[in-house]
Structure 1
Amino acid sequence: MRLWAPLLKKIINIEQRFYSKMTAKRIAVCQMTSVADKSKNLEVVTQLVSDAAKDNAQMIFFPEACDFICDNKKDTLASAEPILTGNTVKQYRDLAAKHNVWLSMGGVHEKDESNPNKMFNTHIIINNNGEIVQTYRKLHLFDVEIPEKNIRLKESDFCTPGKHIVTPVDSPVGKIGLAICYDMRFPELSTTLGTFNADILTYPSAFTYATGEAHWHVLLRARAIENQCYVIAAAQTGQHNTKRRSYGHALCISPWGEVLADCGESAPRYALAELGAGLSVRRDMPVWRHRRPDVYSLYALSLRKDLLAEHTDKITPTENRTPEPNNEEPMNVFGHVKVPESCVFYKSKLTYAFVNLRCVIPGHVLIAPIRLAERNKDLTDEEAEDFFKTIRFIQKLMEKVHKTESCTVTIQDGPDAGQTVRHLHCHILPRRKGDFIENDHIYLELAKHDHFTPKYPGKPARSLEEMRTEANMLREEIKKMADEER
């Protein structure tokens, strides 16, 4: 048996190398020195795409501001373009289709057509057919002002922050979590993307030279190690103008924290890396299984899966719109909106209960009088008796279904109490010990749920199919309860 051991080891090594080669996914991480001339930057991007495609890269990653870098706010705003109709993104889409590659572009400067004094810093994923698959608007804006050193770098002077974490995007090289540059300093974002099974975290960047020397490699390796993801960080490098110099060192890092590719400080250039085998670190060191959500959790997330309406030609439901049902389906009045009959799971003579578009916690349902009564005081005695009888019944139902012994039962009666739908309604929320860090945090989440503004972005909307499924389940549970009581 000992004689066979070396041979077996050799065969296993050959099989592992073969499997790794078969499953490897090749990416190119790019580095460039953008200037104020968009046509010159596009020439650089075009050449890098062409060359990397010839090297069999399946996906090519470009840095923040790959479209241009100006030295003043006025020119920056004037040069920004819309995502759908702008010429620069059109050229990127044509390049992806021509070379049959996927592209990760920037943050590009996206014109904010509702505010001429601001723009968005937007990361775009384009597939090999030239279609925009996903977009992410930078959440964290780089604002640094040190008067004694005559330093002022305030992205918020001309940029509007995004509102959502975008769930990871499926691509030929893995599930990609989208971020931009300064976002890397906020581990909550990367942890969220890791929680949603990202294989790769992307940080296209234009890092300043001083901060790059101090923190670039350290931060990116930390994000890779703690989330057990590949990190791909395309970078700007060199002197863009008299005011601005970037650090460079576009990187690809393995989930173990090993630097697989480093572009140094030269440009334009790209480096290739093979992805695939490194994710075994999740099996060998299962830190995700060792996390303690019973002690700490990310309980308030503003997530987005679908493309923003302004980034697609296709009609998609927006985050705060009730999904459109079949035109023939009956609808129920709920203030200024309509509730599809298929989302209603209980009706009495004067009251109905329905599933929620955005749930603060699982099992969050609503109860309202069938007649449009705005306030509690507007109910007739008969309606009030029926309404509160229904509340007690639905609370009993939800505690049974969700195996709890507590509920938050709340009515926001009037605008000063937080009511935004001008139709009396009661929230039923099944509660478990420790479901919020502080028990009363649930009311903060309810504020986000009701207001749905940039300040209170709320939970993401559910699909109509998901809501119908829950309503069907609850109707079946009501039948079971009725049978048990006979």
Structure 2
Amino acid sequence: MLIQSMKFFLKSSSVLLNIYRMSSKCTVAVCQFTATNNKEENFKVVKSLLKESVEKKAQIVFLPEASDFIAKDKHEFKALAEPLTGPLISSYCSLAKDLNIWISLGGYHEMYDASTIYNSHVVINNQGEIKSVYRKIHLFDVSIPDKNIHLRESDTNRGGNEIVPPVQTPLGLLGLSICYDLRFPEISTLLRKLNADVLTYPSAFTSGTGKAHWEPLLRARAIENQCYVIAAAQYGKHNNKRISYGQAMIVDPWGKIIAECPKYSDDVSTNQSIGVAELDLDIIKRIRTEMPVILHRRNDIYSLNLVNCRQDIDDDKIYEFADKKIPGKTVFYVTKHSFAFTNIRCVVPGHVLVSSLRKAKRLQDLTEEEIADLFQTTVKVSKAVEKMYNAQSSTVCVQDGKFAGQTIPHVHAHILPRKENDFSNNDDIYLHLAKHDTADESKLIRTLAEQIDEASVLRKYFY
């Protein structure tokens, strides 16, 4: 009986081990094609690439930057951009669900509001849900006359302001970047520190820069970070002004190209193609174990730290604010060192607080990294609050110590969205702020439900 039990255990263990080994591998497809200003035709091409990828057993498909369209001019660019709630993204989500496949939509022109368009990398899961959105940080503003390169991305796009934490996918933790970000190795290093297994660079590299730098840069990012690198690419002539280099590829953590599409050439008969490869997370583990580069970094001499990166909010957690207890449901933004929450007493509508996560009485008690994070967070929160309350300015105030008016001994910033003539004397706001925590102002106390409702709306600006 004991022998039979042992045999069953060993057989079950073998099955479990095989399942584990299978789960460490994932087949992916990297695509390239020639987008134009015709969104409907571009989507048809993408649909055919996705179907071909599914036939080749891919679980995730990577599409290039500007898969939605490449416009001829600024006016057309603005006319074609859509919000993430628009019909095109809805079509992508439906396609992902219908084909049971994850999609990395490498560069989508996101109409954030009437005056803001982002170049956004959108990850959609096989249930048709958006799992992550990264907005391109580095904008390509370059003029190289002898190569006939004249592009100013900032004329149409706004730069993002956040490195997004790697998103969990069937192929591990996926770090998101876009095109020109490839030239800034700091992003890849920080994503590696956040445990990324795979780095992505969906691109529309120009033919001139692509010939010189595309492959060396991608292989370097893979080698130095010991990550897989996946780079979908635009290819060919989009219009009279623009040609993209192509050569979409997948690079393994040792720097070897394991899948590749054609480079731009007038002789290539097709402008769309895919490369397929199996990624194995065990290879990453082996390479990182044999050569533990990240452990050899001399953080005592130099360091690279993420100033501001959002963290998940725990609704059930109680956040500490000196001796006060802040319910997680009233918190609407959390970073590595700071958190923002709605106020129990408001001087003006939208009056919110940003505090350090670590208990510290004064600014001088914070580290340089904590100070940078606190004020970066304050700026981001003030922008969101102004949008929500249709304000044109903000009063930002830090009462640093008891004699500066600080009543709660924990570093925090007040953010008060301002409108024209909201006070007859503009500086009266400071008088109201000085006494807003006193007993005679108790009528200003809001219910917990009001705070939670406001936090739920504000979260939409960050998550």
Fold similarity call, TM over 0.5: yes
Q: For 2:276, which of 250, 259, 272 is the aligned residue?
A: 272
Whether 2:340 is the aligned partner of 1:322: answer yes
Once residues 288 and 150 of structure 1 are traced to their aligned partners in structure 2, the CA distance between those partners, rounded to angstroms, is: 40
Instruction: Figure out how many residues of one structure are paired with residues of the other and give that number.
Output: 353
Once residues 363 and 138 of structure 1 are traced to their aligned partners in structure 2, the CA distance between those partners, rounded to angstroms, is: 25
TM-score normalised per structure 1: 0.63
Letter in 1 for 2:272: P
Which 10-residue stretch deviates more, 172-181 or 139-148? 139-148
Q: 1:293 to 1:208 in 2, by over 3 A?
A: same
Q: 1:207 to 1:345 in 2, by over 3 A?
A: closer
Once the two structures are superposed, the pairs formed by residues 68-217 of structure 1 within 5 Å of their partners are 68-84=69-85, 86-115=86-115, 118-146=116-144, 151-217=149-215
Q: Identify the residue that residue 309 of structure 2 maps to in structure 1.
A: 303
Q: 1:334 to 1:283 in 2, by over 3 A?
A: farther
Once the two structures are superposed, the pairs formed by residues 344-355 of structure 1 within 5 Å of their partners are none
Shift of 1:306: 5.9
Q: Deviations over 1:106-164 (max 9, x none)?
A: 2111113141xx41100000011100011000000001124576642110111100010
Q: 1:306 to 1:87 in 2, by over 3 A?
A: farther
Q: Deviations over 1:402-438 (max 9, x none)?
A: xxxxxxx9999xxxxxx9x9559xxxxxxxxxxxxxx
Q: For 2:295, which of 286, 289, 293 is the aligned residue?
A: 289
- The SS at the match of 1:65 is coil
Q: 1:411 to 1:197 in 2, by over 3 A?
A: closer
Shift of 1:385: 12
Letter in 2 for 1:55: K
CA contact (8 A) 1:332 1:338 kept: no
Once residues 120 and 173 of structure 1 are traced to their aligned partners in structure 2, the CA distance between those partners, rounded to angstroms, is: 27
Q: Which runs of 5+ in 1 are unaligned?
A: 1-15, 308-314, 326-330, 347-352, 367-373, 395-408, 413-418, 425-460, 463-486
Q: 1:289 to 1:54 in 2, by over 3 A?
A: same
CA contact (8 A) 1:334 1:423 kept: no
CA contact (8 A) 1:140 1:161 kept: yes
Once residues 298 and 228 of structure 2 are traced to their aligned partners in structure 1, the CA distance between those partners, rounded to angstroms, is: 23
Q: 1:156 to 1:284 in 2, by over 3 A?
A: same
CA contact (8 A) 2:399 2:413 kept: no
Q: Percent identity?
A: 43
Q: Which runs of 5+ in 2 are unaligned?
A: 1-16, 264-269, 314-329, 375-396, 415-429, 436-457
Once residues 271 and 149 of structure 1 are traced to their aligned partners in structure 2, the CA distance between those partners, rounded to angstroms, is: 29
Q: Deviations over 1:7-47 (max 9, x none)?
A: xxxxxxxxx99986663211111111101100100001111
Q: Identify the residue that residue 466 of structure 1 maps to in structure 2.
A: none
Q: 1:259 to 1:385 in 2, by over 3 A?
A: closer
TM-score normalised per structure 2: 0.66
Shift of 1:321: 7.2
CA contact (8 A) 1:134 1:306 kept: no
Once residues 274 and 308 of structure 2 are traced to their aligned partners in structure 1, the CA distance between those partners, rounded to angstroms, is: 34
Q: 1:210 to 1:267 in 2, by over 3 A?
A: same
CA contact (8 A) 2:342 2:353 kept: no
Letter in 2 for 1:61: F
- The SS at the match of 2:332 is coil
Q: 1:252 to 1:333 in 2, by over 3 A?
A: same
Q: Which has more radius of gyration?
A: 1
Once residues 145 and 339 of structure 2 are traced to their aligned partners in structure 1, the CA distance between those partners, rounded to angstroms, is: 45
CA contact (8 A) 2:147 2:208 kept: no
Q: Identify the residue that residue 449 of structure 1 maps to in structure 2.
A: none
Once the two structures are superposed, the pairs formed by residues 392-407 of structure 1 within 5 Å of their partners are none
Q: 1:143 to 1:20 in 2, by over 3 A?
A: same
